[in-house]
A = this chain, B = another copy of it.
Amino acid sequence: MPINRIINCQTQDNIGKEVKVAGWVNIRRDHGQIIFIDLRDRSGILQVVCQASLVEGVKDEDVLEIEGLVKERPSRMVNPNLITGKVELEAKEVRVLARAQTLPFTLKDLNVSLPVLLDWRALTLRNEKIKNVFKVQEALADEFRKSARELDCTEIFVPTISASATEGGAEVFKVDYYSHPAYLTQSPQLYKQMMVPVFERVYTISHAYRSEPSVTTRHLSESIQLDCEFGFADFKELLDLMEKVGTNMFKAAESECPLILKEYGAEKISYGEIPRLTLRAAQEIIYREEGRDVRKEKDLSPEDEIDICKWALKEKGSDFVTITHFPTQKRAFYTMPDPENPVFSLSYDLLFRGMEICSGSQRINNYDQLVSTIKERGMNPGDFEMYLQSFKFGMPPEGGFSFGLERMTKNILNLGNVREASLFPRDMERIDLKLAELKKKEEEKPKKKKSISQKK
């Protein structure tokens, strides 16, 4: 009778039994007539001992189905770093389910440049350490949802195709929508606000698109945003909520992926009381501590973010800093100016280890004020008709925030580039392949067609 496949980690509970496993050849090691195969499946790696004749021609990344006997390893051979480290499988039968072509590089101990990493993305993601980036990402996203639900937020699904540029900026991707001009949303911002009078508190995980014509280590053209919006919340509560959700996410990643964080050399996060500084106060600190005078700048530069986080860790024992009161003109039109000094706004960013990972604000909730602000910014209220409907018929004081999933992943793991924290990063140079390469392919196509038609 054929036996059912078990996954690698279940071998521990089947010592002395015949089992069937399946997976990829993570690495093949030859010891004369005995071949060791590290077989990889979703649960981890299992050491399989094979007679050479059973695995003739079997190479790294081939897909195998193996039947064999689970044996306990002698205590001196136990591998504590392997989930199946107490056992090994003695192969009786090996079936090749799929062959792999010769690899362009060894996947184990992969050490390639970023362009190579991305050119071979479908392959390099198989590397254990690289794959693990996305296990951390999963833990962050999952805790975001859990935290939002505990705060009584309803999950909403909002569209990404919009009739006008969400935030009024120029950096939007244009879509041909049944011959009408349309745009990819820069964020779920307007829609989540519109859902406040419906659900009062909402959350959404959505795609955000920015056509930013610059290459940095911190920007993506398509990214994943984790958004919350709260009705009847004042400025202070919004800060509390943002900090709570953010720290919850990092705590979950630490508690669910301790080995991965260790593998990446990530230090334990310091959750001291989070300092809350206005932009101007932060700039004063930077001036005092670093001697750089940025006190008139309208925003923090990447260098400023690093410096103020350094200060927060040293002085307050916190890997986080909350910065508030950015100049009103530097923030999106829906941001509430501070009634006490409208030049600055009731806006905030959460920084973590030298980088902004979250941004938000209290919003303008009065219809007339919102319409005036749209006009003052040189935009047309008619382009926001559906959005304004929500404000016309009773919008309470409200606000929210938005986390960048890739940035959080990058920073908790000390990755050098945010692209490493996106499965298939989009930027101005690449859609999986380099745009230049795609263009070359396109140009080659008509030629082919021509040569066919010439044959006729």
B-contacting residues of A (Cβ < 8 Å)? 5, 7, 22-25, 41-43, 61-63, 97-101, 103, 120-123, 125-126, 131, 134-135, 137-138, 141-142, 152, 154-163, 173-178, 180-182, 184, 191, 194-195, 197-201, 205, 207, 209, 211, 213, 221-222, 224, 231-232, 365-367, 380, 382-383, 385-387, 389-390, 392-397, 405, 422-424, 426, 428, 431-433, 435, 438-439, 441-442, 445
Contacts and interface: CB of A to CB of B under 8 A. Distances in A.
Given A103-B393, A138-B154, A42 B173 contact: no
Given A101-B393, A383-B441, 14 more contacts: A24-B394, A42-B154, A100-B394, A101-B392, A121-B386, A122-B194, A141-B155, A159-B423, A163-B433, A177-B431, A180-B438, A182-B431, A385-B432, A386-B433
Nearest to A380: B445
A98 B62 contact: no
A405 B157 contact: yes
B41 A200 contact: yes
8 contacts: A7-B152, A100-B392, A101-B392, A162-B432, A163-B431, A175-B176, A177-B435, A180-B438
Identical copies in the complex? 2
Given A122-B386, A191-B424, A386-B433, A138 B155 contact: yes
Contacts of A211: 177-178
Contacts of A191: 423-424
A134 B195 CA distance: 11
A63 B431 contact: no
A174 to B, nearest CB: 5
B122 A390 contact: yes
B174 A175 contact: yes
A407 to B, nearest CB: 13
A57 to B, nearest CB: 14
A175 B178 contact: no
Contacts of A394: 24-25, 61-63, 98-100
Nearest to A99: B394
